[in-house]
Structure 1
Amino acid sequence: MMSEVVVYQQVIAPLGGSLGWSALAAAIPLLVLFLLLGVFRIRAWLASLIGLLVAFVIAVLVDGMPVPAAADAAAEGAAYGLYPILWIVINAIWIYHLTVESGHFDVLRRAFARISADKRVQGIIIAFSFGALLEALAGFGAPVAICAVMLVAIGMKPLKAGAVALIADTAPVAFGAVGIPITTLAQVSGLPVDDLAAMTGRQVPILAVFVPLVMLVVLDGRRGLREAWPAGLVAGVTFAVAQFLVASYGPVQLVDIVASLVSAASVLLLLRVWQPAGTPDDGQDGGRVPAGARLVPEGPGAASRPAGPTLTGGDSGGQVLLAFVPYLIVIVLFVLSVIPVLKAVLSAPTVTFAWPGLDIRTPTGAPVSLTMFKFDWLIASGTVLLIAGLLTGAVLRISPLRLVRAYGHTLYQLRGAGVTVMAVLGLAYVMNLSGQTATLGLFLAGAGSLYALFAPLLGWFGTAVTGSDTSSNSLFGALQASAGHSTGISPILLAAGNTSGGVLGKMISPQSLAIGAAAVGLAGREGELLRRVLVPTVLFVAAMCLLVYLQSTPVLSWMVVR
């Protein structure tokens, strides 16, 4: 027999009625998590579990949340981390593994290398345009690892390749992994997903214009910017325009997919009528991948995986087309899934239910919508990617046994990330449902209209520590919305500012730095990579803070989604 559900009503100032002391107590779980990750450098999965435990204790002892309710809140958050977030990531990384298994990823790399002899242009196409497509489909570090190795393979110095890949993986992050950061932000904040996507689409695209230009400076200094700026400008502007349009009027799942393809196609068209002057100082090393660099981390059974077909540098048109097929399949399936008639059919089996054991009320007595769980298994982005993976296997003629082995390898590779994601979401749900987030939001609202200046900084800090814009949105999305309601600033603006600032923390997060260094064989030299990207992240986040602040004032308020 199920136990009786206990109604829990949140209290804004549980510690003696003092908002300041209550906010300090509410901040303890986040402080513990950030200290464990950033100072003591404890593994992310363990730090996240400890942070969850601390949030649980604070919820019970300080906020007065019943133990069963706190446990159910953590369980709901972990379930949301498993589905839909990990369901997307697992299947997306699996598709990538299939291209490596079949040998077609090497064909793809050589195809990019033949587009232009100029390493600066290759860097933009591979790290920015193609990297954005990888971020759109997989995210969670995949673009940095894959693009960094590709850049080394075309002759770029490892340290430079790692830095370029990190800087490039910024503009597409807000809509990465088929929109998971935005959908997660909507889930935890209770704000409409379409409005959040549109508002983010009025912030991040401005960043996208400048990212390729900064990449040129990193690639070849001022000379790179002077000689190759047309490629950088075309890549950035076309990406920004496409990202803005799809974010404003299209499905969130396709924002970065469309933007990346438009950007790549635009640069290819430009190269038909223009070529950069001069010879870049790219420090070629013969295209040798350094010892220790790996496209795919090892896992059980890795040694026994059969090698894909040997494909030479003189790839035929058919081989190149097959190398692009997995991504074309993904695009086609997502386009089909948003056609109204098909969307209605696929949405029919969706089940929405109240999470068992949770009846949470706001301080005013209104029910909290976060306790509703939606299981849209057929139309889910992860399911679409699973079908795309099966079709990819059929087209690339990968045997069922190898498909299963690749899937098992993917699960093994993501075991630590899986625990981290589920623990971070569990922590976020405990904080949100216990009222800790509302307490922090009300306290921070004391900054008044100046709060908008710091909203992106909070997202930047969250991603820098956790390594994930999705995790940053999970932790701070509800806080930003709460602060907006308290200050009179648009909650949609502040919540979008969180994810827009968060994309800029990606390049300096320990997780991203470790992935970038390991990918190019520089494990242990993460500090050198950090120094290469520190100035860009500081300049970009300062500009984003200013933009969001101006959007909260009459100067740029016309840009805010109403």
Structure 2
Amino acid sequence: MWKQDFTPVADQLALSAVVALIPILYFFWALAVKRMKGYVAGLTTLAVALVIAVIAYKMPVGMAVMSVTQGAVYGLLPIGWIIITSVFLYKLTVKTGQFDTIRNSVLSITEDRRLQALLIAFSFGAFLEGAAGFGAPVAISAALLVGLGFNPLYAAGLCLIANTAPVAFGAIGIPITAVAGPTGIPAMDISKMVGRQLPFLSVFIPFYLVLIMAGWKKTVEVLPAILVSGVSFALTQYASSNFLGPELPDILSALVSLVALAVFLKVWKPKSVYRFANDAHSEVAVSAQHTTHTSGEVFKAWSPFLVLTAFISIWGIPQVKLALTGHYEGTNALLQALNKLGSYLTFMPEVPGLSNKIVNASGQPILAVYKLELLGAAGTAILFAAIVTKFIVRISWGEWVATFGETLNELKFPIITIASVVGFAYVTNASGMSTTPGMALAKTGSLFAFFSPFLGWLGVFITGSDTSSNLLFGNLQKVTATSLGIDPVLAVAANSSGGVVGKMISPQSIAVACAAVGLAGKESDLFRFTVKHSIFLIILIGILTFLQSTVLSWMIP
């Protein structure tokens, strides 16, 4: 047995926090300064974290290594599995020529690159975030933008930034429902508070996306469309999170925003069509000219993504999710049959040498399992969509399997990156290294309301997940806020709201985005693109939270 010690360096919190931040600072340096390939940065950051866990935190070597294996397995399933199946589905549409029709159908709505980014990166990406979460939204929407002719780095970066608005309510509201348990705060209260923070960001993000793409003058040109996209999303996000709960804000907001913008573009056109410098001579522009498709052809081309949406939505229904993982206890005959199959395909073996060997601060042993939900994983839903797609696009089984093999070969380095960075997240959690900086930030007194979102930001950077960040820091937020006289609902909600802008610089997200657009090895370029935006946005959320703790306290439910 080994007990976690959060102040291992000379029994001093500040000094221990500095040491705990070394792997994170190293990762920033490796990507932003040295421009290492993603898998090299991931593996070396993991090595640095292991050394500090063992030497500074006195974690037994065997436990440290086994925590890495636990993280690596989670990196492969569900995260790696999602990226493999997402890219595979996209490649099937490209191989069979269906993506040309998809591209032309988007161009028929608008040829303007600014508006395409709003439709695909912001609205469609938010829908996928609400239904599936993990890496699926960025992977699929970025691949779509690349297919439309966007620069791969730009496409990945824009989709990562656009993905900030929906993350807190992702995967049918799991980040919020998960944190309700350990904190004891009702999920509805947290949902209401997050729904009074994120809509400000949701209005701003479409404007910010276009500003990054095209500059101030070209952004003002499409301001009516930006307002339709952002305001419709934000109002729906506020209403659904405050009156329905945390499960549906993303799906409803995305659909309302997508439909509102598409309808608006039928009656309004920008003064000039914004294109990229190389569009005039590109194959994309040439093939799109004078190309018309019947509604049947367009429907067929989009069918793989409609089927994907259906499968992901079904997988996200709470009762179905329980059945797919063998945990359903209801009376529905179909779900009972599914539950039987799910129980055969769900494996939760304890991690040898680690499970119940680490004692946390409250003296409780920590259970550690390899979580292998083969049927319940979102990637499996996407695989089923790819199987149905085989019959829609009429590709032979031989070509289907060959395309899957090509996808696996292309993604070998991104998968190593994902496995290593999730392994890094798990070793920092198991050693207590991720908790130390959180405890240090909790000592900021009256400024805690400003720094509270930074805890969520740090948590998502480390773990790659708003859910994991909420579970990591949710209780710390509640206890600290209560001791300082700040409403704990505000602090717990701020953890989730701050976490959303950490997603764009999380090593996992960077690896997934690069893999989706064929930029494996270019993770440092994408990180340099997103990091400044992430820092800017977390400061804005910190200011908003601070104001809500003081002059805007009437906004707290």
Q: TM-score, normalised by structure 1?
A: 0.76
CA–CA distance in 2 between the matches of 1:193 and 1:399? 51
Aligned equivalents of 2:524, 2:7: Cα separation in 1: 45
Judge conservation of contact 1:132–1:260 (CA < 8 Å) in 2: yes
> CA separation in 1, counterparts of 2:417 and 2:156?
24
| Structure 1 contact 174–500 (Cα < 8 Å) conserved | yes
| Partner in structure 2 of residue 444 of structure 1 | 441
| Counterpart Cα distance in 2 of 1:312 and 1:277 | 21
In structure 2, what is the Cα distance between the partners aligned to 1:416 and 1:109?
Answer: 29
Partner of 2:418: 421
2:340 paired residue number: none
Specify whether residues 88 and 311 from structure 1 end up closer, same or farther in structure 2 by C-alpha distance, changes over 3 A only.
farther
Q: Report the counterpart of residue 499 of structure 1 in structure 2.
A: 499
Show the 5 A alignment for 1:280-299.
280=273, 282=275, 286-289=279-282
Match of 1:347 among 316, 320, 325: 325
Residue 34 to residue 457, structure 1, CA distance change in 2 (3 Å): same
- Higher mean alpha-carbon deviation, 76-85 vs 200-209, is at 200-209
In structure 2, how many angstroms separate the alpha carbons of the residues matched to 1:57 and 1:237? 48
Q: How does 1:397-412 map to 2 (within 5 A)?
A: 397-412=394-409
Q: Is this contact kept in 2: 1:247–1:255, CA < 8 A?
A: yes
CA shift, 1:113, in A, is 0.7
CA distance in 2, matches of 1:250, 1:313: 44
- C-alpha distance 373-471 of structure 1, shift in aligned 2 (>3 A): same
Q: Encode CA deviations 1:341-362: one digit per residue, 9 max, x unaligned.
A: 5445323214545433222211
CA shift, 1:448, in A, is 2.4
1:17-96 equivalence runs, <5 A: 17-96=11-90
Which secondary structure state, in structure 2, belongs to the residue aligned with residue 501 of structure 1?
Answer: coil
Residue 335 (structure 2) aligns with: none
Distance 1:469 1:525, change over 3 A: closer
Q: Secondary structure at the match of 2:291?
A: coil
For 1:512 and 1:73, the matched residues in 2 are separated by: 22
Equivalent residue number for residue 307 of structure 1: none
Separation in 2, partners of 1:417, 1:247: 35
Per-residue Cα deviation, 1:275-328 (whole angstroms, up to 9, x for no partner):
13533464665543389x9xxxxxxxxxxxxxxxx9992222111001211221
Displacement of 1:108: 0.8
Q: Which amino acid aligns with 1:436?
A: M
Counterpart for residue 171 of structure 1? 165
Are the structure 2 counterparts of residues 86 and 242 from structure 1 closer, same or farther at C-alpha, using a change threshold of 3 Å?
A: farther
Q: Which residue of 2 aligns with 1:206?
A: 200
Residues 261-282 of structure 1: CA deviation (Å, up to 9, x unaligned): 332211122234x313533464
State which of 313, 323, 326 in structure 1 corresponds to 2:301.
Answer: 323
Deviation string 1:423-452 (CA, Å, 9 cap, x unpaired) is: 122122212112222322222221124233
Give the conservation status (yes or no) of the 8 Å contact 1:127–1:148.
Answer: no
Kindly tell me the number of residue pairs found equivalent between the two proteins: 519
Question: Tell me, which stretches of 5 or more residues in structure 1 are unaligned?
Answer: 1-6, 294-309
Do structure 1's residue 365 and structure 2's residue 343 form an aligned pair?
no
Give, in whole Å, the separation in 2 of the partners of 1:512 and 1:72: 24
Gaps of 5+ in 2: 327-342
C-alpha separation in 1, matches of 2:186 and 2:302: 30
Whether the aligned pair in 2 keeps the contact of 1:216 and 1:225 (CA below 8 Å) is yes
CA contact (8 A) 2:93 2:99 kept: yes
Tell me the equivalent position of 1:4: none
Determine the structure 2 residue equivalent to 1:388. 385
Distance 2:430 2:163 in 1: 32
1:313 and 2:291 correspond? yes
**What is the CA distance between 1:109 and its match in structure 2?**
0.9
How far apart in 1 are the matches of 2:532 and 2:29?
A: 23
- Give, as a single letter, the amino acid of the residue that structure 1 aligns with 2:271: G
* Equivalent position SS for 2:414: helix
8 Å contact from structure 2 (residues 31, 38) kept in 1: yes
Q: Is the 8 A contact 2:325 2:375 kept in 1?
A: yes
Q: Deviations over 1:466-510 (max 9, x none)?
A: 7x9826886897257545534546463343134223146589x98
Question: Residue in 2 aligned with 1:305?
Answer: none
Cα pair distance change 1:276/1:495, threshold 3 Å: same
Superposed displacement of residue 365, structure 1: 0.6
Deviates more, 1:347-356 or 1:380-389: 347-356
Contact 2:99–2:147, Cα closer than 8 Å, also in 1: no
Give the Cα separation in 2 of the matches to 1:135 and 1:255.
Answer: 11
Summarize the Cα distance change of 1:492–1:373 in structure 2 as closer, same or farther, 3 Å threshold: farther
Q: Is the 8 A contact 2:168 2:175 kept in 1?
A: yes
Q: Is residue 129 of structure 1 aligned with residue 123 of structure 2? A: yes
- Confirm or deny that 1:234 pairs with 2:212: no
SS in 1 for 2:10: coil
Matched AA of 1:428: A
- 2:145 aligned residue (144, 147, 154): 147
User: SS at 2:2's partner residue?
Assistant: strand
Once the two structures are overlaid, the 10-residue window that deviates more, 85-94 or 537-546, is 537-546
Residue number among 427, 432, 439 corresponding to 2:429 in the alignment: 432
Provide the identity percentage: 32
Whether the 8 Å contact between 1:76 and 1:426 is mirrored in structure 2 is yes
Q: Is the 8 A contact 1:59 1:431 kept in 2?
A: yes
1:340 Cα deviation (Å)?
5.9
Change (3 A) 1:427 1:200: farther
State how far apart, in whole Å, the 1-side matches of 2:476 and 2:64 are: 21
Bigger drift between 435-444 and 131-140 goes to 131-140
SS at match of 2:443: helix
Alignment correspondent of 2:7 = 13
Name whichever of 61-70 and 193-202 sits farther off. 193-202
Seen in structure 2, the aligned counterparts of structure 1 residues 400 and 149 have a Cα distance that, compared at 3 Å, is closer
RMSD of the alignment, in Å? Answer: 4.5
Report the CA distance shift for 1:504/1:71 in structure 2 as closer, same or farther (over 3 A): closer
Distance 1:240 1:346 in 2: 33
Q: TM-score, normalised by structure 2?
A: 0.77
Instruction: Tell whether the 8 Å contact from 2:351 to 2:370 is kept in structure 1 after alignment.
Output: yes
**Paired residues of 1:73 and 1:433 also in contact (CA < 8 A):** yes
* Equivalent position SS for 1:335: helix
Residues 517 and 367 of structure 1: is their aligned pair in 2 closer, same or farther, counting only changes over 3 Å? Answer: closer
Q: Distance in 2 between matches of 1:66 and 1:506?
A: 27
Counterpart amino acid of 1:238?
A: S
8 Å CA contact 2:38, 2:523 repeated in 1:
no
Tell me whether 1:356 sits opposite 2:352 in the alignment. Answer: yes
How many Å apart are 1:29 and its aligned residue? 2.3
Q: Does the C-alpha gap of structure 1 residues 410 and 455 become closer, same or farther in structure 2, counting only changes over 3 Å?
A: farther
In structure 1, distance between residues paired with 2:26 and 2:216: 42
How far the C-alpha of 1:192 sits from its partner, in A, is 9.4
